[in-house]
Structure 1
Amino acid sequence: MMRQYELVERVTRYNPNADEALLNKAYVYAMQKHGSQTRASGDPYFSHPLEVAALLTELKLDDATIAVALLHDTIEDTDATRAEIDELFGEEIGKLVEGLTKISRLDLVSRKAKQAENFRKLLLAIADDVRVLLVKLADRLHNMRTLHHMPESKRGRIAEETMEIYAPLAGRMGMQELREELEDLSFRTLYPDACHTITERLAQIHEKNATLISDIEADLTERLAERGINAVVSSRRKRPYSIFKKMQQKSLGFEQLSDIYGFRVILNTVESCYRVLGIIHTMWPCVPGRFKDYISTPKQNDYRSIHTTVVGPKRQRVELQIRTAAMHRIAENGIAAHALYKDGVTGGRNISTMTSDSRAYAWLRGTIDLLAHGDTPEEFLEHTKLELFHDQVFCFTPKGRLIALPRGATPIDFAYAVHTDVGNTCVGCKVNGRITSLVTELQNGDEVEIVRSQAQTPPPAWEDIVVTGKARAAIRRATRASARQQYGDLGRHILQRAYQRAEKTFEEAALEPYLGTFNCQTTADLLVSVGHGEVSANDVIKAVYPDFVSVVSDLSTNTLPAGTASEGWFDLDQNASVKFKVPGASPEDATDGCLPIRGMSSSLPVRFAPNGGAVPGDRIVGILTPGVGVTIYPIQSPDLKEFDDAPDRWLDVRWDIDPEMPSRFPAQISVSAVNEPGSLAAITGVVSECDGNIDNLKMIRKANDFHEMLIDVEVWDLKHLNRILNQLRAKSNVSQAKRVNG
């Protein structure tokens, strides 16, 4: 176990101005508090926080963080209190220790909702001070290194948690070395056989190629030296989990992998990096499509380097990474290598100073911003995991702004990455100057121009297209807001009609004293509940007017109450051209009260009746179903009988056909035909010749010589449907053709 003076020496080696008294006091306090406690391995428990502190000295972190590492388990596992730590070490260290204590109590691999809520707490604690994350990652690394001492029943859960949360989080913070070790340790536990096989193969390859690797290192170093370039060339071998992941993702066998070994060239200046790139490409032919310049376009986790693959000695593919020493430090240690911890400051500084310099921390802050928009914990976890696990592509706005996106992102993701308002109003795009579909997968270097319209709202179907958490969250928010607005408008119109039928005057303000009766916070909530069908209009009127006796009017006739002075028409479905008819509304209200509900895919569900649908030319009625939406029936539908006792659910509607935007509508027909060869072809041919579209067809054998067909067709209007029926009846092999609900 490391001695007290050894730990202090480690810190003062890279930070001569370290507060030695703080470190000594934290060492002694933690050792005394943990006392005779032991770990599962039988070692003194204090060895664990000491090893965590030692890991952080390798990252050259400030002395306050080292002290927190020593103390991080004291509140959770001893009789130490936050007040006591504040008094002895200061409020800043006390706050960090308490944040780590809360994280330690999280169970991130559990039921989905609990896991998601705990992950929220984890990121909130990290966002408050990134040093919480650095200590937690070191804590997790030491626990994974000693995982074999834990009961076997717990190892899988801890390894899964590490693989799903902590390893990718370390990667997003740019701490690649730590991420790779966490992944390999988890891989060893979760897939022991695969890990053993790959490790053995790697050992065999290394033994076979050891001479070749040393020859390439020496050859490259010598050639660069001849050109006056001082470079450090080193080889690196892919880790087992990285190989396993690539084999899984690309369905490759071990023999097909061409980049098991790679080489790093570390230089002093950025200019030297590009000089070396030119030298290497003149020495050995480069492999097309295997060049990436992360110096000019850094990754979101601050990673900067030039990647290229060449055909080297003995026709072997050689992968090279070219970077400066400063870039290498950040590539290995990420946010922990940031200048914030290299300036000799002994206490911590305001972590917000990091945001202007660190892309990684800016990403973390952006992720935390999702918490403020009311997403459920499950959605938040889903969004964050999407962003943790994706590689990136880099695209540009027409003005040259660089936008980093996950691989597989679409122009819709791009629009939301620019700004939420841009995404919500996106109607089209141009990629590299050409009009392109919004579902196109973007590639590195694409220039994307978003076409906008203020009349647009994002369709709910976009949620299944986008790949970024920000886009999904924004689409869900917009969908919910749109649905709430539409249900609220619908509820208002239902109440207006009910009040008029009751010969009462409707005023929204008059509803406020009765909100508690319906368990609503605001008048808007009550209107939404009425629109949903969760609260009936009659119940609202009875609450406001206790003496009111409801009158059941015959709405099945689709007539308006006597004495109606004027009618207002409100769009129910712009594509299907169906509108609400609200008695007593003025013509001006028809414009102001428009309900922008867009057909079957709308966030406010509007559908046509089963068993026949409805087509323009039919007299129609809308039926409101709680939790389902509005169903449009033709007035002659026998299914309407079941709603005779529910007058509040009936909505007066009418067709409003736009000749410039024709739409097809569903209907169902029944055809009885002779059972003979060619009969089906003749019937479907009639539908096709009449410009009808068959959506579904069901055969029902009634007798040996006849069979019945139920055909779901899409037609323009009632005249079109009747023309199809007349043409079918004219066929010699058809004995009967009729509309199912007609």
Structure 2
Amino acid sequence: MSPGDPALAMPFPAPDEDAVPEYVQALERAADYLPEAQRAQLRRAWAVGAAAHAGQTRKSGEPYITHPVAVAQVLAEQGLDVETLVAAILHDTIEDTPLSRGDIAQQFGETVAELVDGVTKLDKLHFADRQEAAAESFRKMLLAMSRDLRVILIKLADRLHNMRTLGAQSVEARRRIANETLDIYAPIAQRLGMNLIKSELQDLGFRALHPWRHAVIEKRIRSQPLVRREALAKIEAQLAQKLAMEKVEHRLVGRIKTPWSIYTKMRAEHRSFAQVMDVFGFRVVANSVAECYHALGVAHSVYKPLDGRFRDFIAIPKANGYQSLHTVLFGPYGSPIEVQIRTREMDLVAERGVAAHWAYKHGEDPGNSAQSRASAWIANLVESQRGTGSSLEFLENVKVDLFPDEVYLFTPKGDILALPRNSTALDFAYAVHTDVGNHAVAARVDKKLAPLRAKLASGQSVEIITAKSAAPSAQWLEFVVSGKARTAIRHQLKHLEHEDAVQLGHRMLDRALGTQDTSLDRLPAARLDAYLAENRYPRLEALLADIALGNRMPAQVAQSLSAQEQAPDLLKPAQLVPQERILITGAERGVISFAQCCLPIPGDEIMGYHSAGKGIVVHRLECPNVAEYRKSPERWVPIGWDRQVSGDFDAALRIEVENRPGVLAQVAAAIAHAESNIDRVEYLERDTRIAAIRFAIEVADRKHLAEVIRRIRRLSVVHGVQRL
């Protein structure tokens, strides 16, 4: 936007130099890389923002406008463009002032308005609680990020300045904001490669949560003993001398640990402060990739490297675009020396991440840049959020995806995939493609067959074996790690549950219509459409699923649908006409459940009770609760077992045994030999001689259960077995 643009012909006169506060001048000094015309836009944005926020103050008592200007200064220090800085100055105006999105678009352009709108929270809407509001705000911000990455840069700078000025908040607010910062915003900064901002957010969050611990560690760092400082200087001199002799142009700096990094290492590795601090760290910044590898050779010639501690993040960058060579050397004082070696561009990307795109535009491989990787990550999150049910569930998935560590894996074609730490073969399958994950049955890890739950390690080659008939199961959710896999599995399970519900609802409604001497196929389309419209169902499948889930009774629906075809006195009460039994396989997901009071298994005589929201709950006919259910005949569903029954079913046994050591193991072995799994064991009664134990087990059917009981009865220590 040029200074002569009519959009900048504002009703706010340009303020005198003397009238410009120091905080605005500080922003202009930080943004001295911008042309003069663009710096004039910053001043104009400040004038607009100051007028809009007039009369508003922060909790500290300062004028509110000081906060957005400080946010813009954080971004100016990162070298961001003028549109981002203007949007930062105005980022709270839509939310907190009469200034509208249209006003901003008219005065500063559509891009600035889009950025401000993306950062604006959703306080205008009403949510059940603060947690849901924060989650929905985050979802909205993510969608805005997918359109323009600068939205998250403004949000991170906003959070950083809020953390710097957290002292004015109440103790409760400080803890809540600090926890949110450590849980979400610091990991996002790390995921975007913005290590400078990440480190400061973590340290400020640590100070707010544990002020005493932070103060103690900070004091210990400042008062490092003279011996350590001398050792650091000697190692630095030796490395610098050798690099100079080898004519490697470089910049060598010692790395300072932050209180947060020391605290987390002490907790994670159960080390003392002295043990954590007993590591020297250096960074070598060279001119080119070739010189990085040359410098690595030089470092290894000065001190011997530790075996297995070399990492090449230049050849295989981290998911956030970070590139560097990492090595650990044996130091002269018995302490390890951690050395990072990278180029100037890599150093800039390591510190600024996606912000480096605006500060350092030339010489970067666009396919490998931090920005393109961040865009790919956000696109992946946007894709996964479409399948999540709620904002809270989505936020949990994002937190899972913000793991600080990744494993790097190879596809059979040699492509590299980065996954969160502790990922399994199933996570890898979903990372390749959702369809590959949905039909996965096993994996080949380094050409050896492995189960889907096998955990993966960096450098492994993984191939997924699929089958068209395979489908996700609820157990998969127990061992997947990545948000994408979790979302895809839940989405597919809901889809399968819906399909099962539609099929079962179809059978139930057809049987109920059969009592009225008609069927779904014979119903006039106009009558069916009228019923669906009257009851606000978008299509027939929704009605059928509702019937299966017990939200509508099939007999009542059948009577309503048949009402126009027959005289009212000819309608038959559905429950007085014998109905054909619905046959079940046990695999109907989400619409059929098995009562815990009687634990029916294939082979038992069963009945179904139509329960609202749960679908059909299956009971054994001999269950004591059935007498109560007979009082509601309209909810009674005649059901039986299909010829093909699949899966394992819960059963329970009461076993009386001699109360002495080793007996439990004998009974467990007998159950295992009958090829049955034990879910749970609990003592019901116990005296000095006899113990009554309840075993919750899994069996295929009544024959299988009989075999389990037979094997248990053969044991001499068993006095009695009874099915519960």
> Which bin holds the TM-score, normalised by the shorter protein?
0.7 to 0.9
Please name the residue that 1:278 is paired with. 297
Equivalent residue runs for 1:398-437 within 5 Å: 398-437=412-451
C-alpha separation in 2, matches of 1:535 and 1:330: 59
TM-score (norm 1): 0.81
Q: Per-residue displacement from partner, 1:131-175 (whole Å, max 9, x unpaired)?
A: 222223223222322222445553333323322332222222111
CA distance in 1, matches of 2:371, 2:154: 21
Q: CA RMSD in A?
A: 4.2
Residue 321 of structure 1 aligns to a residue whose secondary structure is strand
Counterparts of 1:253 and 1:317, CA distance in 2: 16
Asked if 1:379 corresponds to 2:393, the answer is yes
Contact kept in structure 2, 1:694 and 1:711, CA below 8 Å: no
Instruction: Give me the whole-angstrom Cα distance separating, in 2, the residues matched to 1:514 and 1:677.
Output: 67
C-alpha distance in structure 1 between counterparts of 2:75 and 2:672, whole Å: 78
Match of 2:154 among 135, 139, 145: 135
Distance in 2 (alpha carbons) for counterparts of 1:689 and 1:332: 57
Structure 1 distance, partners of 2:350, 2:717, is: 78
Task: For residue 416 of structure 1, report the CA deviation from its aligned partner.
Answer: 0.7
Mapped partners of 1:690, 1:332: distance in 2: 60
SS of the equivalent of 2:307 reads coil
Equivalent in the alignment of 1:471? 485
The letter of the residue matching 2:348 is R
- The 3-state SS of whatever aligns with 1:257 is helix
User: Does 1:147 pair with 2:166?
Assistant: yes
The residue number in structure 2 matching 1:203 is 222
Secondary structure of 2:423's aligned partner: coil
Among 516, 521, 538, the alignment partner of 2:538 is: 521
Shift of residue 665, structure 1, vs aligned partner? 6.3
Measured against aligned partners, the alpha-carbon deviations of 1:22-54 in whole angstroms (never above 9, x if no partner) come to 234334444455556554444444443333333
CA distance in 2, matches of 1:702, 1:174: 61
Q: How many residues align?
A: 690
Alpha-carbon offset, residue 388 of structure 1: 1.7
| One-letter amino acid matched to 2:296 | L
- Give the alignment partner of residue 316 of structure 2, picking from 266, 290, 297: 297
Aligned to 2:375: 361
Quick check: 1:194 aligned with 2:213?
yes
Q: Give the structure 2 partner of residue 651 of structure 1.
A: 638
Instruction: State the AA in 2 paired with 1:404.
Output: A
Aligned to 2:573: 550
Give runs of aligned pairs for residues 495-534 of structure 1, distance below 5 A.
495-507=509-521, 509=525, 510-516=527-533, 518-534=535-551
The percent of aligned pairs where both chains have the same amino acid is 34
Counterparts of 1:175-186 in structure 2, within 5 Å, are 175-186=194-205
The alpha carbon displacement at 1:71 in A equals: 3.1
Partner of residue 16, structure 2: none
Output the amino acid matched with 1:572: T
Aligned equivalents of 1:2, 1:377: Cα separation in 2? 41
Taking the aligned partners of 2:312 and 2:390, their CA distance within structure 1 comes to 38
Equivalent residue in structure 1 for 2:585, among 572, 578, 585: 572
CA-CA distance at 1:312 after TM superposition? 1.8
Contact between 1:415 and 1:422, CA under 8 Å: does it hold in 2? yes
Q: 1:63 aligns with which of 82, 93, 96?
A: 82
Q: Structure 1 residues 104 and 258, CA, compared in 2 at 3 Å: closer, same or farther?
A: farther
**Counterpart residue type for residue 322 of structure 2:** Y
- CA deviation profile, 1:572-619 (whole Å, cap 9, x unmatched): 23xxxxxxxxxxxxxxxxxxxxxx53xxxx544443774474454x55
- On the 8 A contact 2:72/2:88 being kept in 1, the answer is yes
Cα offset, 1:265, TM superposition:
0.2
The yes-or-no answer on 1:2 pairing with 2:34 is: no
C-alpha displacement of 1:395: 0.5
Q: Do 1:395 and 1:446's aligned partners in 2 also have CA atoms closer than 8 Å?
A: yes
Report the counterpart of residue 395 of structure 1 in structure 2. 409
Report deviation, 1:80. Answer: 3.8
1:238 partner amino acid:
K
Distance 1:106 1:414, change over 3 A: farther
Report Cα offsets for 1:155-206 as digits up to 9, x if no partner. Answer: 3333233223322222221111011111111211110111012112212336
Any unmatched runs of 5+ in structure 2?
1-20
Consecutive unaligned residues of structure 1, counting only runs of 5 or more, are 344-351, 562-566, 574-595
In structure 2, the residue matched to 1:171 is: 190
Normalized against structure 2, the TM-score is what? 0.83
Q: CA deviation at 1:722?
A: 6.6
- Shift of the 74–511 alpha-carbon distance from structure 1 to 2, 3 Å rule, reads closer
- Alpha-carbon distance in 2 for matches of 1:55, 1:689: 64
Show the counterpart of 2:554: 537
1:205 aligned counterpart, secondary structure: coil
Equivalents in 1 of 2:664, 2:239: separation in Å?
74
Structure 1 residues 671-690: aligned runs within 5 Å:
none
Residue in 2 that maps onto 1:237: 256
Task: Say if 1:615 and 1:667, in contact at 8 Å, map to a contact too.
Answer: no
Which amino acid counterpart does residue 447 of structure 1 have in structure 2?
A: S
Tell me which moved more, 375-384 or 623-632.
623-632
What's the offset of the Cα at 1:470? Answer: 0.6
State whether residues 238 and 260 of structure 1, in contact with CA within 8 Å, keep that contact through their aligned partners in structure 2.
no
Give the superposition deviation at 1:511.
Answer: 3.0
> Aligned pair 1:158/2:172, yes or no?
no
Check 1:650–1:280 CA distance in 2 against 1; reply closer, same or farther (3 A cut): same
Residues 375-406 of structure 1: per-residue CA shift (max 9 Å, x gap): 31111000011112341111111111111101
Query: Which one-letter code corresponds to 2:639 in the other structure?
Result: D
Native 8 Å contact 1:625 1:649 kept in 2: no
Query: Would the aligned equivalents of 2:141 and 2:151 in 1 still touch at CA under 8 Å?
Result: no
Cα shift readout 1:442-497 (whole Å, capped 9, x = no counterpart): 11111111010111111111112111111110010011111111011111111122
Contact map agreement 2:532 2:538 (CA 8 A) in 1: yes
Would the alpha carbon gap of residues 263 and 656 (structure 1) be closer, same or farther in structure 2, given more than 3 Å must change? same
The one-letter amino acid of 1:552's match is: Q
**2:283 touches 2:339 (CA, 8 Å); kept in 1?**
yes
**Structure 1: distance between partners of 2:490 and 2:542:** 19
The answer to whether the 8 Å contact 1:266/1:323 transfers is yes
Q: Which amino acid counterpart does residue 244 of structure 1 have in structure 2?
A: Y
Amino acid in the other structure paired with 1:92: T
- The match for 1:91 among 93, 110, 115 is 110
Indicate the residue corresponding to 1:22 in structure 2. 41
Q: Tell me, what secondary structure is at the counterpart of 2:585? A: strand
Name the CA distance, whole Å, in 2 between partners of 1:479 and 1:182.
38
CA distance in 1, matches of 2:456, 2:659: 54
Corresponding residue SS for 1:389: coil
The answer on whether the counterparts of 1:162 and 1:186 sit within 8 Å (CA) in structure 2 is: yes
Equivalent residue letter for 2:500: Q
| Preserved CA contact (<8 Å) 2:653 2:695 | yes
The one-letter code sitting in structure 1 at the alignment partner of 2:356 is A
Which amino acid in the other structure matches residue 319 of structure 1? E
> Is contact 1:615–1:666 with CA below 8 Å preserved after alignment?
no
Q: Which SS does the other structure have where 1:237 is aligned? A: coil
8 Å Cα contact 2:239/2:302 also seen in 1: no
